[in-house]
Amino acid sequence: MSITVAVDVRSVSKIFGAGTGQEVTALDDVSVSIAQNEFFTLLGPSGCGKTTLLRLIAGFEHATHGSILLEGAEISALPPFQRPVNTVFQNYALFPHMSVSQNIGFGLEMQGRTKDEVADTVGAMLSLVKMENLKDRQIDQISGGQQQRVALARALAPRPKVLLLDEPLSALDLKLRKEMQVELKRLQHETGITFIFVTHDQEEALTMSDRVAVMNEGRILQVGAPHEIYNRPNDRFVADFIGDTNFISAEIIERDGNEIRMRLPSGIEIMIPAPPDLPQSGEITLAIRPEQARIASDGDAASIQGSLTDEIYIGTDTQYYIDIGTTSPFVVRVQNANGETQRIPTGTSVGISVDAKTIQILRD
């Protein structure tokens, strides 16, 4: 099945202060294609360039180099109001002197839509965000979560081809933020509009996205489905930024077909699947997710040996911190079945067992 590209970013760079001698490169030769009807997330730490890229697509900034196409048409020279995109900002930017309905209909009125068309569209948007009963409320009379729904409805009302969302959930409390993650995904599915979402929250990205682009220092490091990003990170930064990860140095001993034998710090040798371009010898870094390791019932048969330094109960799981002679403790996360947890006294010598197929080989 062919995929229609909604937004095509081609070799885009953005340099602030160009020619002043104090240049700051916010984006460095970024290219990415985003499909129609896709929920696409730009994920990365503060200052990585994700919001700058969003603002370039919106037209609030202009690229120093490169081009941006919307459904095949170059839009880099168009002002924001001529681009068929809308933006939901972090602070929502609602009009406090207007009601919920008036806020939603404002953009339509500015476009010269008829009163009947405005009324019909506002009604449809109120239904979409489930706020029919609050249509006459003033903005200061509704909650933060409801204000966020109004901002979404206002942005969706003109039926933009692309909706840009700049960390719109960051001001909400944890429970409401989780509810709105599900709500945003529902809205994207029902409207069929391409969503480009900016966040630094890994859980948000994994929960809502069809695909995720992980960014750092103005570059896109990896693009893929959430399970691909999580289970097959292509470098150490991605593995470290997405979820929790244990990093272990290992020594390559030899290759045997599609597998490679390596020696762990404990001295134990293991065989794991390896890419064909991996060196035949030398030091490499292994990444092991905490939930993909377990406390071995027979410590002598475990791949890794260590001493328990801490045990933290976090409700659904218990995390065990184990000193294996590396800079950071090795973390094992165990689900608390039936609300019970395995209690291990601090200082106990334990073994850690890991399925070799879950171990990731990283390039630093």
Q: Give, as one character, the DSSP assignment of residue 170.
A: T
CB-side neighbour CA atoms (13 Å) of 327? 4
Three-state DSSP class for residue 360: strand
Q: State the pTM of this model.
A: 0.87
Q: Give, as one character, the DSSP assignment of residue 359.
A: P
Given its phi and psi angles, is residue 273 left (phi above 0), alpha (psi -120 to 50 degrees) or beta? Answer: beta
Q: How far apart are CA 300 and CA 322, in angstroms?
A: 16
What is the pairing mode between strands 194-199 and 65-70? unpaired
Q: How far apart are CA 157 and CA 214, in angstroms?
A: 30
Cα separations in angstroms, 210 against 40, 88, 197: 6, 19, 11
Name all domains of the chain by residue range, CATH numbers in brackets: 5-240 (3.40.50.300), 244-362 (2.40.50.100)
Q: Which residue has the tokens 């200082």?
A: 347
Distinct helix (H) and strand (E) counts, the chain: 8, 20
- Name the residue among 81, 88, 198, 86 with its Cα closest to residue 150: 88
Q: Identify the helix (H) or strand (E) that includes residue 205.
A: helix 202-208
Cα separations in angstroms, 4 against 83, 185, 214, 222: 18, 20, 22, 21
Reported residue count of the chain is 364
Q: What is the pLDDT along the chain (364 residues), one digit of tens a residue?
A: 567 899 999 999 999 987 777 889 999 999 999 999 999 999 999 999 999 999 999 999 999 999 999 999 999 999 998 999 999 887 778 888 899 999 999 988 888 888 999 999 999 989 888 889 999 999 989 888 888 888 888 888 889 999 999 988 887 788 878 888 888 898 899 889 999 999 999 989 999 999 999 999 999 999 999 999 999 898 899 999 998 999 998 888 888 878 888 888 777 788 888 777 777 778 888 999 999 999 886 655 677 888 999 999 988 899 999 998 888 899 999 988 776 777 888 888 888 988 888 888 886 5
